[in-house]
A and B are shown apart, each in its own frame.
Chain A
């Protein structure tokens, strides 16, 4: 409990930890998946596994958008930047994500016009300032980020801006959770639901997890106390035998979500029949593309996109880690061939990926044993 005294809610945290120890029946093993990469980061940063009994295992889910983007899509995006007319705009998180021929940063160093933006609106502004160039926004992210792309596209359309387009890689969280629940090696008992995705989609879309699969889900905030309280709520449900969706993060997450954001998504996007996720493979109806009304702004229609497919190295066991079958350090490549500096697999790519978070906090602080509680 080395960090507890530094937390504002130290006393409440101790109480929640004591409650968890009381509820976690010693004859059982509990595997709880935190879906969101932000939670994974917080769990490692605050060494929350140290506060949990050994029979509670936290499994790190697919909610890191950079991590789940297949390498082929990175290559496809970078291929757009080989056209000298194109300015490719990407979020900072993407700049160091490797494609087969290097990262966006390396392509930029070789002369491609690739620019980092903090908002899709910055890409829109570049398009207005450079009418003789084609500005493409490399859109990534879950439902937290997709509404901002939708609103930017709405604005492009209202402005009649023809030299702006979106290379859309937005994904949706529900099909990924369903794919994990349906996978043969699935060993998850309950879910710590994402915080900011839920501000957009609300809590209702998670109900099938409780009704069809009988697993509790509690949407959670990101503070140490939030995560521990969510675990208490989950354990109470598991103890009672009744699975429900509960909202620990009600101070930010409305049960019905953000209605204007959902409307904007519905107006601009449609579901792709299927999309590939790194580590999970193809998942049907799990990603967004621009609908016919917005096809003029769809980079995949405006440019030739090669549709590159790159298979992850077989030795990288990202899928097993995502499903909770393996802990990050149990992968054969972890810390050897695959490191945050030179990632091989999806989960080492971003600081919110399970393997990178484990490497950054557990390995580098020498806390491997504590962080691998339950393995």
Chain B
């Protein structure tokens, strides 16, 4: 349940500011960014920590690397990618 996936923003939508396309290990999915866009506007190449389809925190590129390595060490990296691939709400 605590799985948090680091993702890099690759696309933003001016007409849908609550959404962003993020990339994790080559997999791209739309996620909801409503919880992390209140202070500073998001930009392409920013890193986010994703949980159940929502960005929970902004993180540094260095921490994103750290988190991905941690998921690998915990044996959860594949599960993280499956979770990301499983998000279907962006497919419409």
Contact = CB atoms under 8 A, between A and B. Distances in A.
Interface of A: 8, 36-38, 41-42, 45-46, 64-66, 91, 93, 117-122, 124-125, 128, 140-142, 144-145, 147-148, 151, 195-196, 199-200, 222-223, 251-252, 258-261, 264, 350, 352
A264 B36 CA distance: 13
A119 B2 contact: no
6 contacts: A38-B2, A45-B74, A118-B52, A195-B2, A196-B4, A261-B56
Nearest to A148: B54
A91 B3 CA distance: 12
A60 to B, nearest CB: 14
A196 B56 contact: yes
B46 interface: no
Contact of A199 (B56, B60, B63): B56
Given A45-B73, A124-B89, A119 B1 contact: no
A122 B52 CA distance: 10
Contacts of A141: 1
A93 B1 contact: yes
A38 B71 CA distance: 11
B70 interface: yes
Interface residues of B, number: 31
A252 B52 contact: no
B86 interface: yes
B87 A36 contact: no
A151 B34 contact: yes
Contacts of A223: 66, 70
Contacts of B63: 251-252
Given A147-B35, A223-B70, A260-B38, A352 B2 contact: yes
B32 A145 contact: no
Contacts of A118: 52-53, 83-84, 86-88
Contact of B87 (A45, A122, A147, A264): A122
